[in-house]
Amino acid sequence: MSHWHAVLCKPRREALAEANLRNQGFDVYLPRMIGLRRRAGRWEKTIEPLFPRYLFLNAGEGGRGLAPVRSTLGVTDLVRFCGAPALVPPGVVEALREAADPETGCHRFRAAPFAAGERVRFAAGPFKGLEGLFEVESGEARVIVLLELLGKTNRLTVNRDWLVAAH
């Protein structure tokens, strides 16, 4: 019976480890997610590991040796308990694969850019310099902000790129 193991990778080297382990003939799964990252004042979609620094490896039915894994470029070591390579519980990797989007192979866990109730400042747009409270996301690139104007709290749907965290 084949077993899945968790592999600890070097920081930001998951894809390198995945490619090198595949080249050695291992069955490897690196779950990825679509996320958002702010770059140059704009939000952009990124594809990043679901579990930073970790991937899953199946040595196969024949009980293939795991010794080459540690010396693979991009790999730090196998996750171990009491010195022995830890086994991932049955069904976990399969469940992760099934939960991924069939088109992209990625998971769609995307956190909101701000927490509900967080103070935000307009860095651009017609309200530049004003502060409000983040309420909720409203589509791909829009958010709803509570902004006090003329003594009244207003719910505004604005471009997400206009906002930064207020400090």
Phi and psi angles of residue 111, each rounded to the nearest 5 degrees, phi first: -75, 150
Please give the angle made by the CA atoms of 102, 100 and 113, to the nearest 5 degrees. Answer: 120
DSSP-based three-state secondary structure for 119 = strand
Per-residue pLDDT of 17-65, as tens digits, reads 999 999 999 999 999 988 777 778 777 788 999 999 999 999 877 656 8
Q: Would you call 109 exposed, middle or buried from its count of C-beta atoms within 10 A (0-12, 13-18, 19+)?
A: exposed
Is residue 114 in a domain? no
Q: Are residues 17 and 94 both part of a single domain? A: yes
> Which pLDDT band holds residue 109 (cuts at 50, 70, 90)?
low
Q: Are residues 89 and 27 both part of a single domain? A: yes
> Which pLDDT band holds residue 1 (cuts at 50, 70, 90)?
low
Q: Are residues 62 and 130 both part of a single domain? A: no
Show the domain range for 33. 4-107
Is residue 55 within 8 Å of residue 75, measured between CB atoms?
A: no
CATH number, position 88: 3.30.70.940
